[in-house]
Structure 1
Amino acid sequence: MYDIIIIGAGTAGISAYKEAIKKTQNILIINDGPWDTTCARVGCMPSKILISTANRIHDISHVSALGLDVKATINTEHVMQHVQTLRDRFTRATLKDVESWPNEHKISGRAEFLNANTIIVNGQKLQAKSFILAVGTTPTIDTTQKHILGSKLLTSDQIFELNQLPESIAVIGSGVIALELAQALHRCGVKTTIFARSRRIGSLTSPTLQNLAQEVLSNELDIKFEVLPESYEVQNDQVHLNFTDSNKQQKLNVDYVLAATGRSTLLDSLNLENIDESFNDLKKLPIDPISKQLGEYPIFVVGDAHTSTPIQHEAAHEGKQSVNNCLNYPIIKPIKTLCPLGILFSSPQMATIGKSYKQLKDLNKEFVTGFVSYEKQGRAIVAAKNQGAAEVYIDVHTHKLLGAELFCPEAEHLAHLLAWILDEDITIHQILEKPFYHPTLEEGLRTALKHARRQLCS
């Protein structure tokens, strides 16, 4: 019987293994599919490679805003090869690490539970004192669409395997993955149409920022809000879509359809109902949000297999921290919660730090909103990146930062500063005593904080 069996070798599973191996050799990690993580193979890394290329193309095409006159010919023929070359570099690093593990510690295959301490994989029964479930997710696919479109329907797991950029594509969805890929493809010269079920775009919950994002991004992208394709047909190697927009029947022909409507957990592959009959409803699994424990069993679910925030650094943290609970069971300790930090790499970027606007409203928190527009922010104007805005949320009673939402240039860096400040648990008055160099984008945060402080002091 093993001390720990880890099921899934994504970011969370690999992190768990690296921590467990420090404390016991009696462990096993099982993985069904590639061992190079979703992040490196089809997620964070290849998407950021494509986005970086796309943004450079965009910058070259808009240098007139910097007083330059450049005649440039941009050839995107080798973009996908570039994406795949760098992607393979990152996956090789992960695989090299996995290959260094002892063979007796790893099995490739699909694991299924027979009972609370027994699984079967490749016909072999294996037992453990505790389990870490890090099976991750898979793109959500409409089976009817897949049946009609076949290879013309792509997901974020498949789009990076294209040999060439397509001439046209329809993106279904307006969330994080959809927006990042749609804007990148558009900037690479792909005729891109976004079909959004609602008017919401990206990750912002602030009504002010959400409306601003819709306005700014609609000026660049063809976004059809509250419109979805009604039918599909493949003819002459193209997809013909029919949809209704502004009460008019319309048609669109594209090379591919990208389904980017979210990801679904792979917990359904484990036969959890063999542990407890009630576990057949994955939406009602009794997973403790603090310890990640499944019911009263020595089983811990980590990473994006069961979370509303599928974020790489949180998955790594949960995988590592869950090992101690496995080895010390039945003594269970809370897994230290990291400051919530989510970033969307659109342009302008979006970010949510700490509590979002919606979360604060739902909690009936008394707070003031500090606002800054980046349209008139000095450094943003200098860089010709003066779009968007930012909000900070300050507790009326404690004067402490509760959270923030950003839709502005370099939000990825500003978001980290705000997350670190949140962890310091200090007041707005203490924050404003920090240095803000001139001229920088960070000065925009000071403007927002001052706006909030004026409301507190009025």
Structure 2
Amino acid sequence: MSDLKTDICVIGAGAAGLSVAAGAVQMGARVVLIEAGEMGGDCLNTGCVPSKALLAAGHKAHHTAQAAFGVAGHDPAPDFAAAKDHLRAVFDRIAPIDSQERFEGLGVTVIRARARFVAPDMLEAGGQRITARRFVIATGSQPFVPDIPGLSTVAYHTNETIFDLRDRPEHLIIIGGGPIGLEMAQAHRRLGSAVTVIEGARALGRDDPEAVALVLAQLRAEGITIIEDAAVTSVAGQDGAMTVQTAAGASITGTHLLVAVGRRPVFDDLGLDQAAVAHSPKGISVDAGLRTSNPRIYAIGDVTGGAQFTHVAGYQAGLILRPMLFGLRARARTDHIPRATYTDPELAQVGLTEAEARKAHGARLSVVRADFAHNDRAIATGQAHGFAKVMVVRGRPVGATIIGPQAGELIQIWALAMASRLKMSAIAGMIAPYPTLGEINKRVAGAYFAPRLFESRWVKRVVRIVQRLR
């Protein structure tokens, strides 16, 4: 076994690890990157990229079938295998950015093997003992599979296998009504499958109930069966014919089963005890600077058990480069992190929901909103459904919810406002091109000031005085 010394050793070549490796090596650090699986991690291979590509195929099929604006719709006859070819084409275009060849070209030493700590300052991988000034654990997460009687005896799918299907499921049963479950439900329904979603609590339970209701109404209108407050008690059957039982006595039979009830951090066999790194089943413990109990080791991304988003992984990667490369202090924030569910309509959130804001701020809170029904671009394009809602305390947004067309794009201005601690006046003063969906953000900001301008006796008194004097 040979010895290798480096400045930074990164474990995991997903979004978090790749961002650290690329940033550090281009700023002059020696970097070793270790990955036992596929380069690019979950997001590229089995998560964000294939799911959004499949949603795009379903979106195309759905809107081809709709009659609108004097144009007749027609049966698109979705070709499920061709849709999967689209996923492969998207992957082939993006994969080179995350490839081993690219990172070796940047100067990173890439080792394709499993890593295991053997001491607080050393790990082994690929027949080498690696010591580093700093280690970064970025091993991500994997689907959580609940202990449901009978589940281990049937051929169920998770996000790691569902995209490999070439034949369209006749009836897809999905256990889990979170973002992954509902996105896959709509994509498969629009591509011709019957779909039933079973959720043990409330679908999209983290999000604003008013916004969630619009999502669920659309999915149900498209023929998706969504069963809430239904704990699954058992699964039985075989590939092509399986049955899911719920605590309420319901029996749902379908051809395929997707389990989408969450994810768990991956750090099995990493030797964390030998590295003196504190952890629990929920994830690796880190401080505000994302440093573990071993000051030589950082942990970022899904493995910490926090928000499981690619953009969070990228944010945390950039954050820890400051102390590792420049000795500067860094402290992670979570209040400005946006999230989006890419159903149609899209649902996006940053900061606190209305319920969370009312609990945190009480009478100090103002809630303002604008509806897409009054947005000229949304009206012109037949998308005038949904709203933008912003929670405001002392003139600054503390949260924003958008449900409607391109919500994931529109939420970004509120993420900027919260990251930069801007006031509502900054958004109200923005000039948006007309007609655009983005005008809804300016309108909702204006709604915050409208009562102060149009309902104030003092404003009206000043105006009358000025008019007499001029």
TM (normalized to structure 2)? Answer: 0.86
What is residue 413 of structure 2 aligned with on the other side?
Answer: 417
SS of aligned partner of 2:68:
helix
1:287 aligns with 2:301: no
Give yes or no for contact 1:84–1:160 (8 Å, CA) kept in 2. Answer: no
Give yes or no for contact 1:322–1:335 (8 Å, CA) kept in 2. Answer: no
CA 1:335–1:22: 2 relative to 1, 3 Å? farther
Deviations 1:128-175 (A, max 9, x none): 2221111111111135554221xx211111111112221211111111
Which has the higher relative contact order, 1 or 2, with Cα contacts under 8 A spaced 6 or more apart? 1
Give yes or no for contact 2:336–2:351 (8 Å, CA) kept in 1. Answer: yes
| C-alpha separation in 2, matches of 1:283 and 1:304 | 10
What is residue 444 of structure 1 aligned with on the other side?
Answer: 440
Moved more, 51-60 or 427-436: 427-436
Give yes or no for contact 1:203–1:351 (8 Å, CA) kept in 2. Answer: no
What is residue 350 of structure 1 aligned with on the other side?
Answer: 347
1:404 aligns with 2:407: no
What is residue 113 of structure 1 aligned with on the other side?
Answer: 117
Deviation at 1:285, TM superposition (A): 4.7
CA 1:378–1:111: 2 relative to 1, 3 Å? same
| C-alpha separation in 2, matches of 1:323 and 1:14 | 12
Deviations 1:14-42 (A, max 9, x none): 11111221344543111121113322111
Deviation at 1:82, TM superposition (A): 2.1
Deviation at 1:48, TM superposition (A): 1.0
What is residue 78 of structure 2 aligned with on the other side?
Answer: 75
1:274 aligns with 2:270: no
CA 1:431–1:235: 2 relative to 1, 3 Å? closer
What is residue 94 of structure 2 aligned with on the other side?
Answer: 90
What is residue 461 of structure 2 aligned with on the other side?
Answer: none
1:233 aligns with 2:236: yes
CA RMSD, aligned part only? 2.7
| C-alpha separation in 2, matches of 1:406 and 1:118 | 47
1:209 aligns with 2:211: yes
Rg larger in structure: 2
| C-alpha separation in 2, matches of 1:426 and 1:324 | 24
Give yes or no for contact 2:275–2:294 (8 Å, CA) kept in 1. Answer: no
SS of aligned partner of 2:361:
coil
Amino acid of the structure 1 residue aligned with 2:197: I
| C-alpha separation in 1, matches of 2:179 and 2:238 | 30
Matched length: 445
What is residue 125 of structure 1 aligned with on the other side?
Answer: 129
| C-alpha separation in 1, matches of 2:73 and 2:218 | 25
Amino acid of the structure 2 residue aligned with 1:88: D
* Structure 1 consecutive aligned stretches of length 4 or more whose deviation exceeds 6 Å: none
SS of aligned partner of 2:382:
coil
1:243 aligns with 2:246: yes
Give yes or no for contact 1:213–1:388 (8 Å, CA) kept in 2. Answer: no
Amino acid of the structure 2 residue aligned with 1:74: A
What is residue 28 of structure 1 aligned with on the other side?
Answer: 32
- 1:339 corresponds to which of 331, 336, 340: 336
SS of aligned partner of 1:233:
strand
Give yes or no for contact 2:61–2:78 (8 Å, CA) kept in 1. Answer: no
| C-alpha separation in 1, matches of 2:232 and 2:107 | 50
**Share of identical aligned residues, percent?**
22
Which sections of structure 1, spanning at least 5 residues, go unmatched? none
| C-alpha separation in 2, matches of 1:425 and 1:327 | 27
Amino acid of the structure 2 residue aligned with 1:287: V
- 1:167 corresponds to which of 162, 167, 170: 170
Deviations 1:204-251 (A, max 9, x none): 2x343234444444333311011133322224732122335xx5x443
Deviations 1:45-90 (A, max 9, x none): 111111111111111111x232222334423242122222322332
| C-alpha separation in 2, matches of 1:212 and 1:26 | 50
Give yes or no for contact 1:8–1:136 (8 Å, CA) kept in 2. Answer: yes
Deviation at 1:359, TM superposition (A): 4.1
| C-alpha separation in 2, matches of 1:286 and 1:269 | 17
CA 1:100–1:358: 2 relative to 1, 3 Å? farther
SS of aligned partner of 1:363:
helix
Moved more, 348-357 or 129-138: 348-357
Deviation at 1:124, TM superposition (A): 4.1
Deviation at 1:284, TM superposition (A): 7.5
Give yes or no for contact 1:57–1:188 (8 Å, CA) kept in 2. Answer: yes
| C-alpha separation in 1, matches of 2:17 and 2:283 | 23
Deviation at 1:371, TM superposition (A): 1.8
CA 1:197–1:453: 2 relative to 1, 3 Å? farther
Deviations 1:315-361 (A, max 9, x none): 123223323423456x6443587932212111110111233334434
SS of aligned partner of 1:305:
helix
Give yes or no for contact 1:30–1:107 (8 Å, CA) kept in 2. Answer: yes
Give yes or no for contact 2:64–2:74 (8 Å, CA) kept in 1. Answer: no
Give yes or no for contact 1:388–1:408 (8 Å, CA) kept in 2. Answer: yes
Write the mapping of 1:364-403 to structure 2, written as runs, cut at 5 A.
364=361, 366-375=364-373, 377-395=375-393, 397=394, 399-403=395-399
Deviation at 1:362, TM superposition (A): 4.4
Which sections of structure 2, spanning at least 5 residues, go unmatched? 456-470
Give yes or no for contact 2:236–2:243 (8 Å, CA) kept in 1. Answer: yes
SS of aligned partner of 2:71:
coil
CA 1:101–1:224: 2 relative to 1, 3 Å? same
Amino acid of the structure 2 residue aligned with 1:279: A
What is residue 254 of structure 2 aligned with on the other side?
Answer: 254
CA 1:384–1:203: 2 relative to 1, 3 Å? farther
| C-alpha separation in 1, matches of 2:398 and 2:445 | 12
Give yes or no for contact 2:13–2:34 (8 Å, CA) kept in 1. Answer: yes
What is residue 148 of structure 1 aligned with on the other side?
Answer: 153
| C-alpha separation in 1, matches of 2:307 and 2:452 | 32
Amino acid of the structure 1 residue aligned with 2:407: A
What is residue 319 of structure 2 aligned with on the other side?
Answer: 321
Give yes or no for contact 2:204–2:212 (8 Å, CA) kept in 1. Answer: yes
Moved more, 83-92 or 156-165: 83-92
Amino acid of the structure 1 residue aligned with 2:365: F
- 2:180 corresponds to which of 177, 181, 199: 177
Give yes or no for contact 1:172–1:228 (8 Å, CA) kept in 2. Answer: no
Moved more, 190-199 or 360-369: 360-369
What is residue 304 of structure 2 aligned with on the other side?
Answer: 306
- 2:7 corresponds to which of 3, 19, 23: 3
Amino acid of the structure 2 residue aligned with 1:251: S
CA 1:228–1:66: 2 relative to 1, 3 Å? farther
